[in-house]
Structure 1
Amino acid sequence: MRTQQFVLIACLLANLNRDSNAQRGNIITNFFEFLRRGQSDLNIEHVDDGVQLINEYDFIVVGAGTAGCALAARLSENPAWKVLLIEAGGPENMGMDIPILAHFLQLTDINWNYRTQPSDKYCLAMNNRRCNWPRGKVMGGSSVLNYMMYTRGNRRDYDRWAALGNEGWSYRDVLPYFRKYEGSEIPNAEPEFVGRRGPVKIGHPDWRSHISEAFVRAAQEDGLKYRDYNGHIQTGVSYLQATIHKGMRWSSNRAYLYPIKGKRANLHVKKNALVTKVLIDPNTKTAYGVVLSTGGQSYQVRARREVILSAGAINTPQLLMLSGIGPAQHLRDVGIKPIVDLAVGYNLQDHIAPAVSFTTNVSSIRTSDYFEATNIMQYIDGKGLFGLPGAVEAIAFWDLSQPQVEDGWADLEMFQLAGSFEENPATLRAFGIQLDTYNTMYRNVNSDGFMIFPMILRPKSRGRVLLKSNNPFKYPLLHANYFAHPDDLDISVRAVLKTISLLDRPGFKAINARLLERIMPGCAKLPYKSRAYWECYVRHFTYTIYHYCGTAKMGPPTDPAAVVDARLRVYGVKRLRVVDASIMPEIIAGHPNGPVFMIAEKAADMIKQDNNYI
């Protein structure tokens, strides 16, 4: 398997060597094209499994992302159930599983390429004042597109869900499901909290720069302890835990579906098929199947037991609304007859982090490192630079509201990258940064550099997903509403200032770490480094961390914003559930990919119970 990855990279280098004058932009373009070619040339899955769809299944799972792959695998454990998993994208390939290349993937066709609506309050440095919102359109979904950063969040996140009226979702309730899917290889993980035998591999990258060592040391000098942040206490610092194994991305597809490929005749997987509607009997309010579009044709497939939406926090609410489930007036406005009036598309949440750039006198990662023969040969043995998830090395959690409390509820996460935007021009396109802003802030630095992303963990602002039309092929309207609540702007500025304050610690002084002194276009009239300047800065560099959630909120019947109950059943519609990040009533204080695995594992047990299998 890794040899095939080596062939991919070696062929790329051969192509590049034909043009010794190839510029950096051409290198990146060639790489994207090569990934697409690799999908057919060296693919570990067949594009067409040769499975003939039948007219009716017990369960239809829509979306083969983090949740969908896990759920389909668990439900198909019952050989008496026929399960259909439908994915809009194609197969995962070898190039996608090289961790260092994570940022390139956003520029390929495995990304839905969503964009937020224009705003005059955020995303001001982005093209047309719109933030790019990547989402995975591939087997494995966003677990193939993400940076593999593994965090559970804080135990209080789940106790909060339970306190909101969601019985069975306290930390005590969900901990067994975290442990069920984890195949952790973290040596210092707390034994009573970690899972060791699950399908999802979690490990430390084995490559580290002096920058990461300085970051970890500086955070400790600032008062944090080095600890397993997925254990009992979250606030602390650590080298990154990631969903990788022997230097390879460990996606949901790889974890759950590869081991059973060809072994379960009762599980059918349909790729390159877009579900355009859930079929619902308007009289009985019962879901009985889906309409899917593939190869230019439309088909109906029926479900005897349940339809389960695992399409993510953008596609799931879109599909619900296209099917007549959502805010009644909005549906009428776009020509859809409402079946159930629910607050679908509301409660949209995300994590943002205004990247802060630094220079240093020690070596950082440069784009040229990706094409060094030594690095490639190390990767054949599962070691070295290529196994580093998108250049992210270390991570730390602070509770800025209660800094004196060791066991806090973190409201700030910092993660450190061993490279700069100047050395990674793919970022210009991935984030959609305006060219003039990019040139002003990052070009011609002539020094090694690194970045820290200070991510606010518990935002209070809420956005919304709306339909653009009743055409399922039209992308929905995404209103991020970042900084709608003033506390989010306040903590974003405090997070930037906290990040810069680490420069005063001996750890960073030892590598001569300095703030990259560039003035943000659009903020130049404000006093440099004043609070007003940093407010302007974060409104310009409003980088999403791709954690969209909450748009089909879980809540009790008394909650007017709730879309699903505590067993993830859609209110007012029988045999229809949502199992993905949409159901989160409040975003967790961390990266949600791990918690989505947990949601899928717990949902699988609930579905089995409700269908008399357990």
Structure 2
Amino acid sequence: MSHDPSPAARSSDARRGFDIVIVGGGSAGAVLAARLSEDPARRVLLLEAGPAPRTQAEMPDAVLDGTTVAASVPGHALGWTYRGSLLTRDAAHGMRMPQREYDVVRGRLIGGSGAINGGYFIRPRPTDHAEWVAAGGDAWSTENALPLLRAMESDVDYGETALHGGSGPIPVRRADGHPVSQAFEASCLAAGFASDPDKNAPGGSGVGPVPQNVTDGVRRSPAMQYLLPALNRENLEVRGGVTVTRIIVRGGRAVGVQASARRSFEVITGGEIVLAAGAIATPQLLQLSGIGPADDLRAHGIRCVADLPVGEALSDHASITLSMIARTAPPAPEGSPFPTALHTSAPTGEPFELLVGARPLDEIVPGIGAPSALPVMVNLPSTGRGSITLQSDDPAVPPLIRYDYLAEERDRAIARHAVRIAADLIRSREFAVVVENDDAPDTRLLTDDGALDAWIASRIGTTVHTCATAPMGTVADGAGRVLGIDGLRIADTSLLPTAPARGPAASAVLVAETIARAMRAT
């Protein structure tokens, strides 16, 4: 393994040794640091590569403004911009091949992607929990997760109930009354879909308001709500601007990390190392440290210390964005720009989502989309599996990200069904109250499977709901402990064996709460 620090590299003062070193200050890392430092006897260090504001007043405007995702544009200073390949099958040759490249943006500051996302905060479904239990054990069951889900939230609409929390750190509310939402709901109900007023209830599907962690226009990220109030604890240290480049493993045990800051190297030791760098950076860091598929590691000159299928089962949601031209400019939404969603299923049972924007796309994501065009996002299930692999043993070289979208006929059939549903709804008499035109496929495309497949392939993207890149069951156990390596855990969505049926923002917090519970029990 190259890129070791020079002899001048310095180590943390052993007298102030950390019990836990957490790598990554995104949603999961911030929550984990806050929870574990509740024990004053446990010294916790949180390392974040991006900036680490210590107060809400220090947060950039793009982070605080929950009515846009302005920091999610490629090249933004608050994001990591990766390049991913979207995969389809070449029908003429029957082989899988790259279709086109796509920018993948992840948050680069305290709060991570949870600090720059759309404020969507829907819980995982019972079917998600069942899959997670099969991989990680009963700690991930609906029954065991519910107390943690209640403890993380303060539900503005429902308050303290057997299902909802009323005094947790993250405020959760549902927007209603927006004319675009009202028209879309009317369209769905007229088409026979059910009303779904509480999408954080355990069952059901249908149309209804999206639970969101945006109040008074402010994105209440997990880092803001969990971590900032904990920063006065003497046993918690947070360092920004520190990039971890390798986990140090000796004799089968993780004993520290190699990090760089301002062009100098540092070796930081800890009793236990927890990776919460996100579902792209965590598998890259594992592989750089010799933990991953042995043959791939050897190809880059990296000595394998644990032959594990890291990066081989990426799970994510594909997305297709349709645009609508409103009859008149709609009022600005009070909270998230995506206030309403329809959840339903394909004829074969796979769930999908239509997420409706109440603000023009070029205002939600500046520079993207036609002016004044309202978006409808068709978010498809995570049936395919992609991968994350190294391109180099240099930590500065980003990994190769491949998404396995539309690779099988089943995937293409689900996408066709979802787009046809979306086109019918946005062209309905009920929706015509607010929309006068759209760019959904015309009748000729909608009735021709092959032509519609090509149209979808030209627009397919990713929701960046990346999971399963270091999953429990094959890479780690249900407590996040990496198999075959003592003293090393994973605590972010790379641990989940499948992406949840709906967006993973709440699931990322649940991962941190579940791993914190497991660590407190040891």
Q: TM-score, normalised by structure 2?
A: 0.89
Distance 1:424 1:309, change over 3 A: closer
From 176, 179, 185, the counterpart of 1:216: 185
For 1:426, the equivalent position in structure 2 comes to: 366
Aligned equivalents of 1:77 and 1:240: distance in 2? 31
The residue identity in structure 1 corresponding to 2:48 is E
For 1:400, the equivalent position in structure 2 comes to: 346
Q: Does 1:61 align with 2:1?
A: no
Q: List aligned pairs for 1:472-551, cutoff 5 A.
A: 472-503=395-426, 505-511=428-434, 513-516=436-439, 530-551=448-469
The residue identity in structure 2 corresponding to 1:291 is Q
Structure 2 contact 340–355 (Cα < 8 Å) conserved: yes
Q: Deviation per CA, 1:259-308, whole angstroms, max 9, x where unpaired? A: 122x2011010101000111111x3x01111111001000011112x100
The residue identity in structure 2 corresponding to 1:607 is M
Deviation at 1:512?
Answer: 5.0
SS for the counterpart of 1:607 is: helix
From 114, 121, 140, the counterpart of 2:82: 114
The residue identity in structure 1 corresponding to 2:206 is G
The residue identity in structure 1 corresponding to 2:84 is T
Structure 1 contact 200–243 (Cα < 8 Å) conserved: yes
For 1:381, the equivalent position in structure 2 comes to: none
Q: Does 1:595 align with 2:507?
A: yes
Q: Does 1:154 align with 2:125?
A: yes
Q: Does 1:357 align with 2:319?
A: no
* Structure that is richer in helix per residue: 1
For 1:455, the equivalent position in structure 2 comes to: 379
From 233, 248, 267, the counterpart of 1:279: 248
Distance 1:517 1:151, change over 3 A: closer
For 2:173, the equivalent position in structure 1 comes to: 203
Distance 1:495 1:60, change over 3 A: same
Deviation at 1:488?
Answer: 1.6
Q: Does 1:464 align with 2:464?
A: no
Structure 1 contact 550–586 (Cα < 8 Å) conserved: yes
Q: Deviation per CA, 1:158-217, whole angstroms, max 9, x where unpaired? A: 012223463321211211111111122124x793221121111112347x5321110112
Distance 1:533 1:80, change over 3 A: same
Structure 1 contact 328–342 (Cα < 8 Å) conserved: yes
Q: List aligned pairs for 1:333-372, cutoff 5 A.
A: 333-364=299-330
Deviation at 1:509?
Answer: 3.6
Structure 1 contact 148–243 (Cα < 8 Å) conserved: yes
From 145, 154, 158, the counterpart of 2:116: 145
Considering only aligned residues, what root-mean-square deviation do their CA atoms show, in Å?
A: 2.6
Q: List aligned pairs for 1:164-203, cutoff 5 A.
A: 164=135, 166-187=137-158, 191-203=161-173
Aligned length: 495
Deviation at 1:606?
Answer: 0.4
Aligned equivalents of 1:53 and 1:269: distance in 2? 14
SS for the counterpart of 1:589 is: coil
Aligned equivalents of 1:286 and 1:53: distance in 2? 18
The residue identity in structure 2 corresponding to 1:401 is P
Deviation at 1:347?
Answer: 0.7
Structure 2 contact 471–494 (Cα < 8 Å) conserved: yes
For 1:323, the equivalent position in structure 2 comes to: 289
Aligned equivalents of 2:304 and 2:261: distance in 1? 26
Deviation at 1:603?
Answer: 0.7
Aligned equivalents of 1:604 and 1:73: distance in 2? 9
Deviation at 1:104?
Answer: 4.4
Distance 1:287 1:512, change over 3 A: closer
Aligned equivalents of 2:225 and 2:167: distance in 1? 12
Aligned equivalents of 2:253 and 2:122: distance in 1? 37
Distance 1:504 1:244, change over 3 A: closer
Deviation at 1:485?
Answer: 3.0
Aligned equivalents of 2:268 and 2:435: distance in 1? 62
Q: Deviation per CA, 1:410-465, whole angstroms, max 9, x where unpaired? A: 6011110124446677353xxxxxxxxx7xxx47xxxx6422111113x2210110
SS for the counterpart of 2:480 is: coil
Aligned equivalents of 1:120 and 1:602: distance in 2? 36
For 1:567, the equivalent position in structure 2 comes to: 479
SS for the counterpart of 1:201 is: strand
Structure 1 contact 349–587 (Cα < 8 Å) conserved: yes
For 2:103, the equivalent position in structure 1 comes to: 132
Aligned equivalents of 2:428 and 2:86: distance in 1? 39
For 2:279, the equivalent position in structure 1 comes to: 313
Aligned equivalents of 1:328 and 1:487: distance in 2? 32
Distance 1:496 1:550, change over 3 A: same
Structure 1 contact 348–548 (Cα < 8 Å) conserved: yes
Structure 2 contact 27–508 (Cα < 8 Å) conserved: yes
* Structure that is richer in strand per residue: 2
Structure 2 contact 138–144 (Cα < 8 Å) conserved: no
The residue identity in structure 2 corresponding to 1:511 is V
Aligned equivalents of 2:281 and 2:318: distance in 1? 21
Q: Which 5+ residue runs of structure 2 have no aligned equivalent?
A: 1-10, 54-58, 91-97
Structure 1 contact 313–582 (Cα < 8 Å) conserved: yes
Distance 1:422 1:101, change over 3 A: closer
Aligned equivalents of 2:307 and 2:202: distance in 1? 40
Distance 1:173 1:410, change over 3 A: farther
Deviation at 1:118?
Answer: 6.6
Aligned equivalents of 2:458 and 2:160: distance in 1? 40
Distance 1:134 1:364, change over 3 A: same
For 1:388, the equivalent position in structure 2 comes to: 335
| Deviates most, 448-457 or 131-140 | 448-457
Determine what percentage of the aligned residue pairs are the same residue: 28
For 1:299, the equivalent position in structure 2 comes to: 266
For 1:44, the equivalent position in structure 2 comes to: none
Deviation at 1:129?
Answer: 2.1
Aligned equivalents of 1:301 and 1:68: distance in 2? 17
The residue identity in structure 2 corresponding to 1:256 is Y
SS for the counterpart of 1:460 is: coil
For 2:257, the equivalent position in structure 1 comes to: 290
Aligned equivalents of 1:517 and 1:569: distance in 2? 46
Aligned equivalents of 1:537 and 1:309: distance in 2? 39
